[in-house]
């Protein structure tokens, strides 16, 4: 079996923004070839799989500049410095949707796109929801939608849900609702 590990030779910061950083690493491959890797550094995120008592997922609809369109997604956000994931999940759920969850637990963590980014997304399952007031930030325009879990897969199949963290979250929600998680 071939060795796969790359050895970092050097690293150079190319960009540093409010949320993201970009670095360019020079690496040596196991076969001796040197090449570069561009890496987006991300602080990590949480995604909230919030399921109502009526087996509806709490989804948000918002414009995403990178995609150039309005997307239907699970609520998500970035932790404040030093903030625990569970706290971030509760805070983001309430801010973006107005729902408070009595129960929140981490169910999964996975890389968003490891070919170029170190972003790790933590998935939290939220239940026992109670509606309060949505408290979005001034630069967030978000519509909240409750979508029957059974319909969510159809929305994926027909291309009306195209956000990968949401697709993963829907699969997890179906497993949890079916008692298989």
pLDDT band at 14 (very low <50, low <70, confident <90, very high): very high
From CA 144, how far away is CA 73, in angstroms rounded? 10
Give burial (CB, 10 Å; 0-12/13-18/19+) of 106.
middle
Interval 68-106: pLDDT, tens: 999 999 999 999 999 999 999 999 999 999 999 999 999
Confidence (pLDDT) at 1: 83
User: What pLDDT is recorded for position 56?
Assistant: 97
Q: Are residues 24 and 55 in the same domain?
A: no
Residues 16 and 86 in one domain: no
With respect to residue 67, please indicate whether it lies within any of the assigned structural domains: yes
DSSP 111: E
**Cα 149 from Cα 170, distance rounded (Å):** 8
Domain identity same for 99 and 58: yes
Q: Are residues 105 and 56 in the same domain?
A: yes
pTM of the model: 0.94
List the one residue out of 139, 138, 135, 156 whose CA is nearest residue 147: 156
> 84 near 124, Cβ under 8 Å?
no
Are 49 and 23 members of one domain?
Answer: no
Do 120 and 144 lie in a common domain?
yes
Asked if 80 and 138 sit in the same domain, the reply is yes
Confidence of residue 153 (pLDDT cuts 50, 70, 90): very high
The pLDDT of residue 91 is 97
Number of domains present in the structure of the chain: 2
Token output for 171: 């699969």
Same domain membership, residue 127 and residue 55: yes
Tell me the catalytic residues. 138
Q: Is the same domain home to 151 and 82?
A: yes
Nearest to 47 by CA among 27, 76, 26: 76
Which domain, by its residues, includes 93? Answer: 45-177
pLDDT at position 2: 83
- Structure confidence at residue 49 as a pLDDT band (50, 70, 90): very high
User: Which CATH number goes with the domain that contains 74?
Assistant: 3.90.79.10
Cβ distance 154 to 124 under 8 Å? no
Residue 2 within a domain: no
pLDDT, residue 151, reads 97
- Exposed e or buried b per residue across 127-156, where buried means at least 16 C-beta atoms within 10 angstroms of its C-beta: eebeeeebeeeeeeebebeebebeebeebb
Residues 34 and 57 in one domain: no
Determine, yes or no, domain membership for 145. yes
Contact of 54 with 26, CB cutoff 8 Å:
no
pLDDT for 181 beyond 80: no
Retrieve residue 175's tokens.
Answer: 């497993």
Residues 32 and 70 in one domain: no
pLDDT of residue 180: 80
For position 168, what pLDDT does the model report? 98
Strand pairing of 76-77 and 99-111? unpaired
> What is the mean predicted confidence (pLDDT) over 60-71?
97
For residues 19 and 66, the answer to whether their CB atoms sit within 8 Å is no
Convert the pLDDT of each residue in 108-125 to its tens digit.
999 999 999 999 999 999
Assigned domain for 1 exists: no
């Amino acid at each position: 079996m071939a060795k796969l590990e790359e050895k970092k030779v050097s690293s150079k910061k190319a960009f540093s923004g409010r949320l993201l950083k970009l670095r360019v690493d020079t690496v040596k491959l196991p076969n001796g070839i040197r090449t570069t890797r561009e890496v987006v550094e991300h602080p990590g995120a949480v995604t909230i799989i919030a399921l109502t008592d009526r087996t509806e997922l709490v989804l948000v609809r918002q414009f995403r500049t990178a995609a150039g369109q309005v997307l239907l997604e699970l609520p998500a956000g970035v932790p404040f410095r030093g903030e625990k994931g569970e706290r971030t999940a509760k805070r983001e759920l309430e801010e973006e949707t107005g729902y408070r969850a009595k129960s929140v637990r981490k169910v999964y963590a996975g890389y968003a796109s490891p070919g170029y980014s170190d972003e790790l997304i933590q998935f939290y399952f939220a239940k026992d929801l109670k509606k309060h007031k949505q408290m979005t930030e001034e630069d967030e325009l978000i519509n909240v939608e409750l979508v029957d879990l059974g319909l969510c897969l159809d929305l994926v199949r027909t291309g009306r849900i195209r956000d990968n963290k949401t697709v993963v979250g829907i699969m997890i929600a179906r497993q949890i609702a079916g008692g298989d998680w």
